[in-house]
Amino acid sequence: MKVKSLLSKARKTGKDIVQITPQDADWTYVGFKAERLSAGETTRTETGSRELCIVVLTGRVDIRVNGELYPGQGGRDSVFEDKAPAALYVAMGSSVEVQASAPAEIAFCYSSLGSPAKKTKVLDPAAMRRSVRGQGSNQRFVCDILPQDDLSAESLLVVEVVTPAGHSSSYPPHKHDTDNEPYETRLEEVYYHRINPSQGFAFQRVYTDDRSIDETMAVEDHDLVSVPRGYHPCVAPHGYDLYYLNVMAGSKRHWIFKNDPAHEWMIVQG
C-alpha cells in the first residue's frame, strides 16, 4: 500500500473543516468529512453505494433522508460536555439534507461497503454505551456511537473518546491491520481531533513493527489523522484535554486489536 500523508490539517474558517476519501487515503473503505454550519445553513450529500453515520458533534440540526424528516437532532454546546451525541445511521442509496437550526458542527462518517438490507435509524444518545477505560494517567472516557453489537450498520464502527489533559489514549499502543481472527482483524481508521482549550495541541504516533510507517504528529483542533496500518497511540499534554471521533471500517465489522508486545507489560490485570 502506498502511504500518503497521515495528517490532514483543518481549515480554520468556512463551512468545510476537513475531508478525506478512500482515494485520498489510498485505501478501500473509510471516508470522512466534518463541516461547520451557521444557523439556517444547509448541506447535502448522496450516499450512493456507501453507508453513512451522521454525528451531530455540536449544535442542533434537522435532517432529511429521502424526504423523511428527523427534526431537532443534537444539542451539545461542546464535544467535551458530559453527554452522548445525537447520531443517525443512513443506508446506501439515500439523499441527505442537513439544516442547522443553531450553529452546528457535523461529522459525516462513510464506509464504501453498504447493504441494501440496512435501514436509516436514529441512534438514541440515551442508549449509547458510555464507559471509563484505563487507569491513572491512562484513563479516558468512551462513548460507543455505533458499536459492533449494534447491527444497524454493514461495516461502520463509530466511537468518541475524551482524554483528560496529561493522559494517554489508544494506549498501550495497539493495531488492527491483519486478518487473523480470533487474534486480530483488519480495519481502516481515522481520528478526528478536538482540543480544549482550542489553541492547544496533542500528539499522535502511527508506526509499524518494521517502521515502514513511523510518523509522530502534533495535532491541533479539528485535524484528522489516517491510520492505514500500525499502532496509533495519542497523548494529551498538560493543560489541554483531547477529544477524538474514531471511524473504522473493513471487510468484516469486527474489532479485535493486537497490543505492541514491547509495551504490553504495563497492562494491569483484573
| 3-class DSSP string for the chain | CCCCCCEECCCCCCCEEEEECHHHHCCCCEEEEEEEECCCCEEEEECCCCEEEEEEEECEEEEEECCEEEEEEECCCCCCCCCCCEEEEECCCCEEEEEECCCEEEEEEEECCCCCCCCCEEECHHHCEEEEECCHHHCEEEEEEECCCCCCCCCCEEEEEEECCCCEECCCCEECEEEECCCEEECEEEEEEEEECCCCCEEEEEECCCCCCEEEEEECCCCEEEECCCECCEECCCCCEEEEEEEEECCCCCCCCEECHHHHHHCCCC
Q: What is the pLDDT of residue 4?
A: 65
- Taking the whole predicted model, whether its pTM rises above 0.85 is answered as yes
CA distance 3 to 215: 11
Q: Collect all residues with Cβ–Cβ distance below 8 Å to 127 and sequence separation of at least 6.
A: none
Tell me: pLDDT of 269 over 60: no
**Is the omega angle on the peptide bond into residue 71 within 30 degrees of 0, that is, cis?**
no
Looking at the structure of the chain, the number of domains it has is: 1
Whose cell is 491491520? That residue is 177
Average pLDDT of the residues of the chain = 95
Share of the chain above pLDDT 70, in %: 97
Q: What is the pLDDT of residue 79?
A: 98
Where in the sequence is the domain holding 262, given as residue range(s)?
7-266
Cell digits of residue 130: 458510555
* 190: in domain: yes
Q: How far is CA 76 from CA 13, 173, 183, in A?
A: 21, 31, 37
**Is the omega angle on the peptide bond into residue 197 within 30 degrees of 0, that is, cis?**
yes
Residue 205 has φ and ψ, to the nearest 5°, of -110, 140
CA distance 91 to 70: 15
At 41-90, the pLDDT tens digits run 999 999 999 999 999 999 999 999 999 999 999 999 999 999 999 999 99
* 233: in domain: yes
* 2: in domain: no
* 229: in domain: yes
Residue 87 has φ and ψ, to the nearest 5°, of -155, 155
Q: Look up the CATH number of the domain holding residue 259.
A: 2.60.120.10
* 1: in domain: no
CA distance 54 to 210: 36
* 71: in domain: yes
Q: What is the pLDDT of residue 114?
A: 82
Tell me: pLDDT of 270 over 50: no
CA distance 22 to 263: 31
Q: What is the pLDDT of residue 145?
A: 98
At 113, the pLDDT band (50, 70, 90 cuts) reads confident
